Structure 1
């Protein structure tokens, strides 16, 4: 005697795909890009089943480019500031007021600004080379006989010479300067202290 029928449904057999259906399926699966790599299944007509393909490699992550930090350029050290001008010593000032003579003197009367500037520099360099410590530079008081036509009127050299003596280019030669005493021209002349070269006698 036969037993009761099996209530479980029988599994359906999968119909194998023909070539056109297989091509359409592969075309659809190629156009889909999964968020995470998953196993791709490929249906083949010959096998009539499902073939598992290897998981697709994950897309390369974009490389973050970092900005190169610029290295601060080394700045050249600033040259040292020239030493300040020094006034005449009181003892030297007293000696000059009593009639002591200077080591050398330069008279700039009647010269143009350009000629006077060049002559002053040459004179001071020569005085330093000779080992002189104190020289006299005569500029004049700006009287009519010392007026420079077309270059600013009276007293031009009297105003310009102190500026030249205080310029950085002469700081290696000039220690200091002051208005001369009456016996050496007063306001129309300047005492100039000359910096001695190394190796000179004090």
Structure 2
């Protein structure tokens, strides 16, 4: 089974191959020319329209992010040790961003209606060269809109529940 080399791998191989001498009596095979470099994307000129001024309310406190929201020590200890059992599991792995956002919104509505407190949200880890976009957007989705008022905190999941590719979502108690 073979695969094509990436442009970076091809450049590295060319550098290594240039340092090697052929065995006496053998002909050296010519190296394949490197592929043409793609043209850099054209950058549109900046708009000359000024941005609208931001209205600042000096008395308002900035809203805390769900990722930075605090819990009491008992909750944090249980989450760190993996002693919490999720009431509901939401698997967003493999969805598009739009579909994942919709699935998350519906699952939060259902969990809130059923009185669930701990949700395990599986986003996937991604790869080193291509991190998970859903994982990157999750905190932004939860901070915005009507979802924020229902959420107490967002924490990374214990390895037994998915580790870096999953999160515990703690919902607020219902009155």
Deviation (angstroms), 1:155: 0.9
Decide which of 82, 107, 116 is 2:100's aligned counterpart: 116
Q: State whether residues 179 and 187 of structure 1, in contact with CA within 8 Å, keep that contact through their aligned partners in structure 2.
A: yes
The verdict on how the C-alpha distance between 1:100 and 1:196 changes in structure 2, with shifts beyond 3 A counting, is closer
TM-score norm. by structure 2 comes to 0.56
Decide which of 154, 167, 170 is 1:190's aligned counterpart: 167
CA distances 1:106-156 after superposition (whole Å, capped 9, x unpaired): 111110111100000110111111111111101000149xx9xxxxx5411
Q: Are 1:159 and 2:158 an aligned pair?
A: no
Decide which of 75, 78, 99 is 2:83's aligned counterpart: 99
CA distances 1:1-59 after superposition (whole Å, capped 9, x unpaired): xxxxxxxxxxxxxxxxxxxxxxxxxxxxxxxxxxxxxxxxxxxxxxxxxxxxxxxxxxx
Query: Number of residue pairs matched?
Result: 113
Structure with bigger RCO (C-alpha 8 Å, 6+ apart)? 2
Q: State whether residues 125 and 173 of structure 1, in contact with CA within 8 Å, keep that contact through their aligned partners in structure 2.
A: no
Decide which of 119, 122, 125 is 2:109's aligned counterpart: 125
The structure with the larger Rg is 1
Bigger fraction of residues in helix: 2
Deviation (angstroms), 1:101: 0.9
The answer to which of 92-101 and 163-172 deviates more is 92-101
Q: Detail structure 1 runs of 4+ shifted over 6 Å in the superposition.
A: none
Q: Could you list the runs of 5+ residues in structure 2 that have no partner in the other structure?
A: 1-59
Deviation (angstroms), 1:100: 3.1
